[in-house]
A = this chain, B = another copy of it.
Amino acid sequence: MEKNRIYLLTSILVMLALLSLTPPIAAQEESIESLTESVDGLGTALTFVWLLLCGGLVFLMHAGFSLVEAGFTRAKNTANILMKNLMTICLGVLIYWLVGWAIMYGENVGGIFGFSQFCLSGADNSTWNAWFFQMVFAATGATIVSGAMAERTNFKAYLVFTGLLVAIIYPVYGHWVWSGADFALLTGDGSWVVQICGASFHDFAGSGVVHSIGGYAALAGVIILGPRLGKFKNGKPQVIPGHNITFGFLGVLLLWLGWLGFNGGSTLDGSDAFMNLAVANTFLAAAAGAVAAMILTWMKTGKPDPSLTANGVLAGLVAITAPCGSVENWAAIVIGIIAGAIVYAGVMFNEAVLKVDDPVGAIAVHGYCGTWGLLAVGIFSVGMGNGILDGAVYAAGAPGLLYGGVNQFMVQVVGALAAIIWAFVAGLIVFKLIDIVIGLRVSEREELEGLDITEHGIRAYPEYITE
Protein backbone atom coordinates (compact mmCIF):
# COMPACT_ATOMS: atom_id res chain seq x y z
CA MET A 1 0.00 0.00 0.00
CA GLU A 2 2.77 2.31 0.92
CA LYS A 3 4.47 1.59 -2.29
CA ASN A 4 1.28 1.88 -4.16
CA ARG A 5 0.60 5.16 -2.57
CA ILE A 6 4.06 6.33 -3.32
CA TYR A 7 3.70 5.02 -6.77
CA LEU A 8 0.37 6.69 -7.24
CA LEU A 9 1.61 9.88 -5.78
CA THR A 10 4.63 9.88 -7.94
CA SER A 11 2.58 9.12 -10.98
CA ILE A 12 0.25 11.93 -10.15
CA LEU A 13 3.17 14.22 -9.56
CA VAL A 14 4.65 13.22 -12.85
CA MET A 15 1.31 13.76 -14.50
CA LEU A 16 1.02 17.11 -12.85
CA ALA A 17 4.52 17.97 -13.90
CA LEU A 18 3.58 16.99 -17.39
CA LEU A 19 0.43 19.00 -17.18
CA SER A 20 2.37 21.90 -15.78
CA LEU A 21 4.52 21.67 -18.86
CA THR A 22 1.63 21.65 -21.24
CA PRO A 23 0.32 25.11 -20.52
CA PRO A 24 3.68 26.83 -21.12
CA ILE A 25 4.00 24.80 -24.27
CA ALA A 26 0.50 25.79 -25.29
CA ALA A 27 1.19 29.36 -24.28
CA GLN A 28 4.36 29.28 -26.32
CA GLU A 29 2.38 27.81 -29.17
CA GLU A 30 0.14 30.77 -28.93
CA SER A 31 2.85 33.34 -28.64
CA ILE A 32 4.62 31.71 -31.55
CA GLU A 33 1.44 31.88 -33.54
CA SER A 34 0.83 35.48 -32.65
CA LEU A 35 4.48 36.23 -33.32
CA THR A 36 4.22 34.58 -36.70
CA GLU A 37 1.21 36.71 -37.35
CA SER A 38 3.04 39.83 -36.24
CA VAL A 39 5.98 38.95 -38.43
CA ASP A 40 3.74 38.26 -41.39
CA GLY A 41 1.96 41.50 -40.61
CA LEU A 42 5.25 43.34 -40.50
CA GLY A 43 6.24 41.83 -43.81
CA THR A 44 3.00 43.04 -45.31
CA ALA A 45 3.42 46.42 -43.67
CA LEU A 46 6.91 46.73 -45.09
CA THR A 47 5.56 45.94 -48.52
CA PHE A 48 2.83 48.53 -48.06
CA VAL A 49 5.33 51.17 -47.02
CA TRP A 50 7.72 50.27 -49.80
CA LEU A 51 5.09 50.29 -52.54
CA LEU A 52 3.48 53.51 -51.36
CA LEU A 53 6.83 55.23 -51.38
CA CYS A 54 7.88 53.67 -54.68
CA GLY A 55 4.50 54.66 -56.06
CA GLY A 56 5.22 58.18 -54.86
CA LEU A 57 8.49 58.16 -56.77
CA VAL A 58 6.72 56.93 -59.88
CA PHE A 59 4.19 59.71 -59.40
CA LEU A 60 7.12 62.13 -59.37
CA MET A 61 7.81 60.96 -62.91
CA HIS A 62 4.80 63.01 -63.94
CA ALA A 63 6.66 66.08 -62.78
CA GLY A 64 9.63 64.76 -64.71
CA PHE A 65 7.67 64.23 -67.89
CA SER A 66 6.02 67.64 -67.56
CA LEU A 67 9.40 69.32 -67.31
CA VAL A 68 11.06 67.38 -70.10
CA GLU A 69 8.17 67.95 -72.45
CA ALA A 70 7.81 71.62 -71.55
CA GLY A 71 11.54 72.29 -71.61
CA PHE A 72 12.17 70.66 -74.97
CA THR A 73 9.37 72.50 -76.77
CA ARG A 74 8.57 76.15 -77.38
CA ALA A 75 7.41 78.64 -74.79
CA LYS A 76 4.19 79.35 -76.61
CA ASN A 77 2.92 75.85 -75.89
CA THR A 78 4.15 75.40 -72.36
CA ALA A 79 0.93 75.91 -70.41
CA ASN A 80 -0.79 73.51 -72.76
CA ILE A 81 1.82 70.83 -72.22
CA LEU A 82 1.63 71.26 -68.48
CA MET A 83 -2.14 71.01 -68.54
CA LYS A 84 -1.97 67.89 -70.67
CA ASN A 85 0.43 66.25 -68.28
CA LEU A 86 -1.55 67.24 -65.23
CA MET A 87 -4.77 66.00 -66.76
CA THR A 88 -3.06 62.77 -67.76
CA ILE A 89 -2.40 61.86 -64.18
CA CYS A 90 -5.78 63.20 -63.00
CA LEU A 91 -7.74 61.26 -65.58
CA GLY A 92 -5.37 58.35 -65.01
CA VAL A 93 -6.26 58.19 -61.33
CA LEU A 94 -9.98 58.36 -61.95
CA ILE A 95 -10.23 56.13 -64.97
CA TYR A 96 -7.87 53.49 -63.71
CA TRP A 97 -10.05 53.38 -60.61
CA LEU A 98 -13.24 53.27 -62.63
CA VAL A 99 -12.28 50.87 -65.39
CA GLY A 100 -8.57 50.29 -65.95
CA TRP A 101 -7.93 48.11 -62.92
CA ALA A 102 -10.97 46.00 -63.72
CA ILE A 103 -9.77 45.32 -67.24
CA MET A 104 -6.22 44.63 -66.12
CA TYR A 105 -6.65 42.68 -62.92
CA GLY A 106 -10.30 41.62 -63.01
CA GLU A 107 -11.51 38.07 -63.58
CA ASN A 108 -9.97 36.81 -66.83
CA VAL A 109 -12.23 36.67 -69.87
CA GLY A 110 -10.96 34.39 -72.61
CA GLY A 111 -7.31 35.05 -71.80
CA ILE A 112 -7.69 38.50 -73.30
CA PHE A 113 -8.82 40.89 -70.61
CA GLY A 114 -10.15 41.13 -67.11
CA PHE A 115 -13.66 42.12 -66.22
CA SER A 116 -14.56 42.64 -62.60
CA GLN A 117 -13.76 44.92 -59.67
CA PHE A 118 -14.92 48.03 -61.50
CA CYS A 119 -14.60 51.03 -59.18
CA LEU A 120 -12.38 48.79 -57.03
CA SER A 121 -15.50 47.20 -55.64
CA GLY A 122 -14.73 45.05 -52.64
CA ALA A 123 -11.29 46.59 -52.18
CA ASP A 124 -9.35 46.25 -48.96
CA ASN A 125 -6.01 47.73 -47.98
CA SER A 126 -4.07 45.22 -50.04
CA THR A 127 -6.09 46.15 -53.08
CA TRP A 128 -5.65 49.86 -52.47
CA ASN A 129 -1.95 49.37 -52.13
CA ALA A 130 -1.71 47.36 -55.31
CA TRP A 131 -4.06 49.69 -57.15
CA PHE A 132 -2.05 52.72 -56.15
CA PHE A 133 1.21 51.28 -57.41
CA GLN A 134 -0.38 50.08 -60.67
CA MET A 135 -2.28 53.33 -61.15
CA VAL A 136 0.83 55.51 -61.22
CA PHE A 137 2.21 53.18 -63.87
CA ALA A 138 -0.92 53.37 -65.97
CA ALA A 139 -0.89 57.14 -66.04
CA THR A 140 2.77 57.06 -67.06
CA GLY A 141 1.88 55.21 -70.23
CA ALA A 142 -0.40 58.02 -71.30
CA THR A 143 2.07 60.76 -70.54
CA ILE A 144 4.51 59.34 -73.04
CA VAL A 145 2.06 60.05 -75.80
CA SER A 146 1.60 63.67 -74.80
CA GLY A 147 5.28 64.38 -75.42
CA ALA A 148 5.32 63.03 -78.94
CA MET A 149 2.18 64.91 -79.90
CA ALA A 150 3.18 68.19 -78.29
CA GLU A 151 2.64 71.64 -79.82
CA ARG A 152 -0.17 70.80 -82.23
CA THR A 153 -2.76 68.51 -80.67
CA ASN A 154 -6.25 69.59 -79.77
CA PHE A 155 -6.58 69.57 -75.99
CA LYS A 156 -9.98 67.91 -75.86
CA ALA A 157 -8.90 65.21 -78.31
CA TYR A 158 -5.89 64.47 -76.17
CA LEU A 159 -8.05 64.09 -73.07
CA VAL A 160 -10.30 61.61 -74.80
CA PHE A 161 -7.33 59.61 -76.00
CA THR A 162 -5.81 59.54 -72.53
CA GLY A 163 -9.04 58.21 -71.13
CA LEU A 164 -9.17 55.41 -73.66
CA LEU A 165 -5.54 54.51 -73.20
CA VAL A 166 -5.91 54.18 -69.46
CA ALA A 167 -9.26 52.42 -69.73
CA ILE A 168 -8.48 49.93 -72.47
CA ILE A 169 -5.25 50.05 -74.47
CA TYR A 170 -2.91 49.91 -71.49
CA PRO A 171 -4.79 47.47 -69.25
CA VAL A 172 -5.48 44.91 -71.97
CA TYR A 173 -1.81 44.42 -72.71
CA GLY A 174 -1.13 44.73 -69.00
CA HIS A 175 -3.57 41.88 -68.44
CA TRP A 176 -1.66 39.67 -70.84
CA VAL A 177 1.54 40.24 -68.92
CA TRP A 178 0.94 41.09 -65.31
CA SER A 179 -2.52 39.84 -64.36
CA GLY A 180 -1.24 36.51 -63.09
CA ALA A 181 -4.30 34.89 -64.66
CA ASP A 182 -3.85 31.30 -65.71
CA PHE A 183 -4.78 32.10 -69.26
CA ALA A 184 -3.10 35.47 -69.46
CA LEU A 185 -2.02 35.60 -73.08
CA LEU A 186 1.72 36.08 -72.63
CA THR A 187 2.40 34.76 -69.17
CA GLY A 188 -0.32 32.38 -68.03
CA ASP A 189 0.58 28.73 -67.66
CA GLY A 190 -2.48 27.84 -69.67
CA SER A 191 -1.79 30.26 -72.52
CA TRP A 192 -0.99 28.78 -75.92
CA VAL A 193 1.72 31.39 -76.43
CA VAL A 194 3.53 30.30 -73.32
CA GLN A 195 3.07 26.65 -74.19
CA ILE A 196 4.38 27.04 -77.72
CA CYS A 197 7.36 29.16 -76.70
CA GLY A 198 8.11 27.02 -73.71
CA ALA A 199 8.69 30.01 -71.51
CA SER A 200 6.70 32.76 -69.92
CA PHE A 201 7.10 36.33 -71.16
CA HIS A 202 9.01 38.44 -68.65
CA ASP A 203 8.56 42.18 -68.41
CA PHE A 204 9.74 43.02 -64.93
CA ALA A 205 8.65 46.63 -64.58
CA GLY A 206 7.20 47.47 -67.94
CA SER A 207 9.57 48.06 -70.86
CA GLY A 208 6.65 46.58 -72.72
CA VAL A 209 3.56 47.17 -70.63
CA VAL A 210 4.27 50.84 -69.98
CA HIS A 211 6.89 52.08 -72.41
CA SER A 212 6.29 50.12 -75.60
CA ILE A 213 2.57 50.67 -75.30
CA GLY A 214 3.06 54.38 -74.79
CA GLY A 215 5.74 54.64 -77.44
CA TYR A 216 3.93 52.85 -80.26
CA ALA A 217 0.60 54.46 -79.49
CA ALA A 218 2.53 57.73 -79.79
CA LEU A 219 3.86 56.61 -83.16
CA ALA A 220 0.33 55.98 -84.36
CA GLY A 221 -0.61 59.38 -83.03
CA VAL A 222 2.09 61.39 -84.74
CA ILE A 223 1.45 59.64 -88.03
CA ILE A 224 -2.18 60.66 -88.02
CA LEU A 225 -1.39 64.05 -86.59
CA GLY A 226 1.40 65.04 -88.93
CA PRO A 227 4.47 67.12 -88.13
CA ARG A 228 4.45 70.59 -86.61
CA LEU A 229 4.35 73.44 -89.10
CA GLY A 230 7.89 74.16 -90.16
CA LYS A 231 9.31 70.86 -88.98
CA PHE A 232 10.01 69.73 -92.52
CA LYS A 233 11.08 72.02 -95.35
CA ASN A 234 11.01 70.27 -98.70
CA GLY A 235 11.03 67.00 -96.83
CA LYS A 236 14.13 67.90 -94.88
CA PRO A 237 13.80 67.91 -91.10
CA GLN A 238 14.29 71.33 -89.52
CA VAL A 239 15.35 72.23 -86.06
CA ILE A 240 12.87 73.58 -83.51
CA PRO A 241 14.81 74.09 -80.29
CA GLY A 242 13.17 73.70 -76.90
CA HIS A 243 12.79 76.76 -74.75
CA ASN A 244 14.30 75.73 -71.44
CA ILE A 245 17.09 73.19 -71.08
CA THR A 246 17.13 73.54 -67.31
CA PHE A 247 13.56 72.31 -67.07
CA GLY A 248 14.46 69.46 -69.39
CA PHE A 249 17.41 68.35 -67.30
CA LEU A 250 15.59 68.70 -64.01
CA GLY A 251 12.86 66.58 -65.55
CA VAL A 252 15.32 63.90 -66.56
CA LEU A 253 16.79 63.73 -63.06
CA LEU A 254 13.32 63.48 -61.54
CA LEU A 255 12.46 60.72 -64.00
CA TRP A 256 15.63 58.88 -63.10
CA LEU A 257 14.76 59.10 -59.43
CA GLY A 258 11.24 57.98 -60.23
CA TRP A 259 12.68 54.90 -61.88
CA LEU A 260 14.08 53.84 -58.55
CA GLY A 261 10.48 53.36 -57.51
CA PHE A 262 9.45 52.06 -60.90
CA ASN A 263 11.97 49.24 -61.02
CA GLY A 264 12.75 48.87 -57.34
CA GLY A 265 9.11 48.60 -56.41
CA SER A 266 8.29 46.11 -59.12
CA THR A 267 9.29 43.16 -57.00
CA LEU A 268 5.95 44.03 -55.37
CA ASP A 269 7.43 42.72 -52.13
CA GLY A 270 9.21 44.80 -49.53
CA SER A 271 11.23 41.79 -48.44
CA ASP A 272 12.46 40.68 -51.85
CA ALA A 273 16.18 41.34 -51.65
CA PHE A 274 16.47 41.41 -55.42
CA MET A 275 15.18 44.95 -55.38
CA ASN A 276 18.84 45.79 -54.87
CA LEU A 277 19.94 44.09 -58.03
CA ALA A 278 17.12 45.80 -59.87
CA VAL A 279 18.11 49.23 -58.62
CA ALA A 280 21.83 48.77 -59.18
CA ASN A 281 21.21 47.63 -62.75
CA THR A 282 18.80 50.51 -63.30
CA PHE A 283 21.40 53.09 -62.39
CA LEU A 284 24.14 51.41 -64.38
CA ALA A 285 22.03 51.25 -67.53
CA ALA A 286 20.89 54.86 -67.21
CA ALA A 287 24.43 56.09 -66.84
CA ALA A 288 25.64 53.95 -69.70
CA GLY A 289 22.83 55.16 -71.95
CA ALA A 290 23.70 58.78 -71.30
CA VAL A 291 27.40 58.32 -71.87
CA ALA A 292 26.77 56.39 -75.07
CA ALA A 293 24.39 59.00 -76.45
CA MET A 294 26.76 61.80 -75.52
CA ILE A 295 29.72 60.18 -77.21
CA LEU A 296 27.71 59.47 -80.33
CA THR A 297 26.57 63.05 -80.73
CA TRP A 298 30.07 64.24 -79.91
CA MET A 299 31.45 62.14 -82.73
CA LYS A 300 28.75 63.20 -85.17
CA THR A 301 28.58 66.97 -84.68
CA GLY A 302 31.78 67.60 -82.79
CA LYS A 303 29.91 68.67 -79.70
CA PRO A 304 28.25 66.66 -76.92
CA ASP A 305 24.54 67.31 -77.31
CA PRO A 306 22.67 68.02 -74.09
CA SER A 307 19.13 67.08 -75.03
CA LEU A 308 20.13 63.80 -76.68
CA THR A 309 22.36 62.95 -73.74
CA ALA A 310 19.37 63.52 -71.51
CA ASN A 311 17.38 61.23 -73.79
CA GLY A 312 20.20 58.72 -73.40
CA VAL A 313 19.50 58.53 -69.67
CA LEU A 314 15.87 57.77 -70.39
CA ALA A 315 16.80 55.28 -73.10
CA GLY A 316 18.92 53.32 -70.67
CA LEU A 317 16.17 53.44 -68.07
CA VAL A 318 13.46 52.26 -70.44
CA ALA A 319 15.61 49.45 -71.76
CA ILE A 320 16.63 48.13 -68.35
CA THR A 321 13.06 48.23 -67.06
CA ALA A 322 12.28 44.72 -68.23
CA PRO A 323 15.61 42.98 -67.57
CA CYS A 324 16.82 44.81 -64.45
CA GLY A 325 16.02 41.94 -62.10
CA SER A 326 17.33 39.21 -64.38
CA VAL A 327 20.74 40.23 -65.64
CA GLU A 328 24.23 40.84 -64.35
CA ASN A 329 25.69 44.30 -63.85
CA TRP A 330 27.87 44.19 -66.92
CA ALA A 331 24.86 43.23 -68.99
CA ALA A 332 22.96 46.20 -67.63
CA ILE A 333 25.76 48.44 -68.83
CA VAL A 334 25.74 46.83 -72.26
CA ILE A 335 21.97 47.15 -72.45
CA GLY A 336 22.27 50.82 -71.53
CA ILE A 337 24.95 51.52 -74.11
CA ILE A 338 22.93 49.93 -76.86
CA ALA A 339 19.87 51.85 -75.72
CA GLY A 340 21.88 55.06 -75.96
CA ALA A 341 22.75 54.18 -79.52
CA ILE A 342 19.18 53.21 -80.32
CA VAL A 343 17.78 56.48 -79.09
CA TYR A 344 20.22 58.43 -81.21
CA ALA A 345 19.58 56.32 -84.29
CA GLY A 346 15.87 56.20 -83.59
CA VAL A 347 15.51 59.97 -83.39
CA MET A 348 17.39 60.36 -86.66
CA PHE A 349 15.45 57.56 -88.32
CA ASN A 350 12.09 58.95 -87.26
CA GLU A 351 12.88 62.34 -88.69
CA ALA A 352 14.84 61.40 -91.75
CA VAL A 353 13.12 58.21 -92.87
CA LEU A 354 9.68 58.00 -91.32
CA LYS A 355 9.34 61.78 -91.51
CA VAL A 356 7.40 61.85 -88.31
CA ASP A 357 7.78 64.67 -85.82
CA ASP A 358 8.29 63.74 -82.20
CA PRO A 359 9.50 66.87 -80.40
CA VAL A 360 10.87 65.10 -77.34
CA GLY A 361 11.97 61.78 -78.80
CA ALA A 362 9.29 59.80 -76.99
CA ILE A 363 8.93 57.18 -79.70
CA ALA A 364 12.63 56.40 -79.82
CA VAL A 365 12.99 56.44 -76.04
CA HIS A 366 9.89 54.55 -75.02
CA GLY A 367 8.99 52.62 -78.14
CA TYR A 368 12.30 51.47 -79.60
CA CYS A 369 14.19 51.19 -76.34
CA GLY A 370 11.19 49.49 -74.78
CA THR A 371 11.33 46.84 -77.45
CA TRP A 372 15.07 46.55 -76.98
CA GLY A 373 14.57 46.03 -73.26
CA LEU A 374 12.13 43.20 -73.87
CA LEU A 375 14.51 41.49 -76.26
CA ALA A 376 17.42 42.07 -73.88
CA VAL A 377 15.64 39.88 -71.35
CA GLY A 378 15.81 37.05 -73.87
CA ILE A 379 19.49 37.68 -74.50
CA PHE A 380 21.08 38.50 -71.16
CA SER A 381 18.89 36.78 -68.58
CA VAL A 382 20.81 34.59 -66.22
CA GLY A 383 17.81 32.35 -65.68
CA MET A 384 15.93 32.20 -62.40
CA GLY A 385 17.79 30.17 -59.82
CA ASN A 386 21.11 30.38 -61.63
CA GLY A 387 24.15 32.32 -60.49
CA ILE A 388 23.23 35.72 -59.08
CA LEU A 389 19.57 34.77 -59.35
CA ASP A 390 19.95 32.02 -56.79
CA GLY A 391 16.97 32.49 -54.50
CA ALA A 392 15.18 34.93 -56.79
CA VAL A 393 11.43 34.52 -57.04
CA TYR A 394 10.57 37.16 -59.62
CA ALA A 395 12.83 37.19 -62.65
CA ALA A 396 12.87 35.83 -66.18
CA GLY A 397 12.31 32.11 -65.82
CA ALA A 398 14.56 30.73 -68.48
CA PRO A 399 18.11 31.74 -69.37
CA GLY A 400 18.73 34.03 -72.32
CA LEU A 401 20.58 33.42 -75.54
CA LEU A 402 23.94 34.19 -73.98
CA TYR A 403 23.38 31.50 -71.42
CA GLY A 404 22.29 28.95 -73.96
CA GLY A 405 18.53 29.36 -73.70
CA VAL A 406 16.29 30.04 -76.68
CA ASN A 407 12.76 29.76 -75.30
CA GLN A 408 12.94 32.92 -73.26
CA PHE A 409 14.14 34.83 -76.28
CA MET A 410 11.35 33.42 -78.40
CA VAL A 411 8.65 34.46 -76.00
CA GLN A 412 10.24 37.89 -75.60
CA VAL A 413 10.10 38.40 -79.35
CA VAL A 414 6.46 37.41 -79.35
CA GLY A 415 5.64 39.68 -76.43
CA ALA A 416 7.56 42.58 -77.92
CA LEU A 417 5.75 42.19 -81.23
CA ALA A 418 2.43 41.91 -79.44
CA ALA A 419 3.09 45.24 -77.75
CA ILE A 420 4.04 46.93 -80.99
CA ILE A 421 1.07 45.62 -82.90
CA TRP A 422 -1.50 46.11 -80.19
CA ALA A 423 -0.44 49.62 -79.27
CA PHE A 424 0.06 50.75 -82.83
CA VAL A 425 -3.16 49.35 -84.24
CA ALA A 426 -5.29 50.31 -81.27
CA GLY A 427 -3.65 53.73 -81.37
CA LEU A 428 -4.35 54.17 -85.07
CA ILE A 429 -7.99 53.26 -84.64
CA VAL A 430 -8.57 55.40 -81.60
CA PHE A 431 -6.74 58.43 -83.01
CA LYS A 432 -8.53 58.13 -86.33
CA LEU A 433 -11.88 57.98 -84.59
CA ILE A 434 -11.01 60.95 -82.44
CA ASP A 435 -9.82 62.83 -85.49
CA ILE A 436 -13.15 62.25 -87.17
CA VAL A 437 -15.31 63.06 -84.20
CA ILE A 438 -13.40 65.86 -82.46
CA GLY A 439 -10.51 66.77 -84.71
CA LEU A 440 -7.08 65.73 -83.55
CA ARG A 441 -5.18 68.79 -84.62
CA VAL A 442 -5.55 72.47 -83.96
CA SER A 443 -5.86 74.87 -86.86
CA GLU A 444 -2.78 76.30 -88.52
CA ARG A 445 -3.50 79.70 -87.07
CA GLU A 446 -3.80 78.29 -83.58
CA GLU A 447 -0.57 76.38 -83.98
CA LEU A 448 1.28 79.49 -85.11
CA GLU A 449 -0.19 81.56 -82.34
CA GLY A 450 0.67 78.87 -79.80
CA LEU A 451 -1.64 76.58 -77.90
CA ASP A 452 -1.28 78.49 -74.65
CA ILE A 453 -3.23 81.43 -75.97
CA THR A 454 -5.62 79.56 -78.17
CA GLU A 455 -6.43 76.61 -75.92
CA HIS A 456 -6.10 78.22 -72.51
CA GLY A 457 -6.11 81.94 -73.04
CA ILE A 458 -2.87 82.49 -71.17
CA ARG A 459 0.82 82.87 -71.70
CA ALA A 460 3.09 80.72 -69.59
CA TYR A 461 5.63 83.51 -69.13
CA PRO A 462 3.73 86.74 -69.66
CA GLU A 463 6.52 88.99 -68.42
CA TYR A 464 9.44 87.67 -70.36
CA ILE A 465 10.13 89.12 -73.75
CA THR A 466 10.58 86.20 -76.12
CA GLU A 467 11.52 85.84 -79.74
Residue numbers of A with Cβ under 8 A of B are 3-4, 7, 10-11, 14-15, 17-18, 21-22, 24-25, 28-29, 31-32, 35-36, 38-39, 41-46, 48-50, 52-53, 55-57, 59-60, 62-63, 66-67, 70, 74-75, 78-79, 82-83, 85-87, 89-94, 97, 119-120, 123-126, 128-129, 131-132, 135, 155, 241-247, 249-250, 252-254, 256-257, 260-261, 264, 270-277, 279-280, 283-284, 286-288, 290-291, 294, 301, 303-307, 309-310, 313, 329-330, 333, 388, 455-467
CB pair A244–B461 under 8 Å, yes or no, is yes
B463, A74: Cβ atoms closer than 8 Å: yes
Q: How far is it, in angstroms, between the C-alpha of A36 and the C-alpha of B27 when the chains are bound? A: 14
CB contact under 8 A between A21 and B21, given known A38-B39, A45-B270, A86-B290: yes
- For A283, what are the chain B residues with a Cβ–Cβ distance below 8 Å? 93, 132, 135
The minimal Cβ–Cβ distance linking A25 to chain B, given in whole angstroms, is: 6
Q: Which residues of B contact A53 (CB under 8 A)?
A: 53, 260
Report which of B4, B25, B123 forms a contact with A25, defined as CB distance below 8 A: B25
Measured CB to CB, the closest approach of chain B to A131, in angstroms, equals 6
The residues of B that contact A246 with a CB separation of less than 8 Å are 66-67, 70, 78, 82, 244, 247, 460-461
Give bound CA distance, A349 to B63, whole Å.
Answer: 31
| Contact A245–B79 (Cβ < 8 Å) | yes
Top 3 A-B pairs ranked by shortest CB distance?
Answer: A93-B287, A128-B276, A125-B273
* 12 pairs from A and B in contact (CB 8 Å cutoff): A10-B11, A45-B270, A48-B276, A49-B49, A53-B260, A63-B257, A66-B249, A78-B246, A82-B249, A87-B309, A306-B456, A464-B464
Please determine whether A29 and B28 come into contact, CB atoms closer than 8 angstroms.
Answer: yes
Residues of chain B within 8 A (CB-CB) of A39 are 35, 38-39, 42
Of chain B, the residue at the smallest CB distance from A254 is: B63
Residues of B within 8 A of A273 (CB): 44-45, 48, 125-126
Task: Check if B87 sits within 8 Å of A294, measured CB to CB.
Answer: yes
* A277 partner residues in chain B, CB cutoff 8 A: 125, 128
Residues of B close to A22: CB separation below 8 A: 21
Of B243, B244, B305, which contacts A456 at CB under 8 A?
B305
Q: How far is the CB of A100 from chain B (nearest CB, A)?
A: 13
Q: Give A301 to B243 CA distance when docked, in angstroms.
A: 28
Contacts of A249 in B (CB 8 A): 66, 82, 85-86
What is the CB-to-nearest-CB distance from A31 to chain B, in angstroms, rounded to a whole number?
A: 5
Q: A29-B24, A306-B79, A455-B303 are in contact. Are A275 and B52 (CB under 8 A)?
A: yes
Give the distance in Å from the alpha carbon of A41 to the alpha carbon of B309 in the complex: 40
- Give 4 new A-B contacts, CB below 8 A, not counting A32-B32, A63-B257, A128-B279: A3-B7, A21-B25, A45-B270, A52-B275
Q: Kindly list chain B residues whose C-beta atoms are within 8 Å of the C-beta of A465.
A: 464-467
Contact of A78 with B245 at beta-carbon distance under 8 Å, contacts A11-B14, A89-B287, A287-B90 already known: yes
Contact flag A56-B260 (CB < 8 Å), given A18-B14, A35-B35? yes
- Report Cα–Cα, A261/B55, bound state, in Å: 12
The contact of A129 among B242, B260, B276, B462, by CB within 8 Å, is B276
Partner among B59, B85, B329 whose Cβ is within 8 Å of the Cβ of A256? B59
A99 to chain B, nearest CB (A): 14
Q: Which one of A55, A86, A303 has the greatest number of beta carbons of chain B within 10 Å?
A: A86
Partner pick for A303 among B50, B60, B457, CB 8 A cutoff:
B457
Residue on B with the closest CB to A248? B82
Q: Which residues of B contact A67 (CB under 8 A)?
A: 246, 250
> Given the complex of chains A and B, what is the CA–CA distance between A128 and B272 in angstroms?
13
The listed residue with most B CB atoms (<10 A of its CB), out of A35, A90, A280, is A90
Instruction: For residue A72, give the distance in angstroms from its CB to the closest CB of chain B.
Output: 11
> Which of chain B's residues have a CB closer than 8 A to the CB of A244?
246, 460-461
- Taken together as a complex, chains A and B put the C-alpha atoms of A310 and B89 apart, in Å, by 12
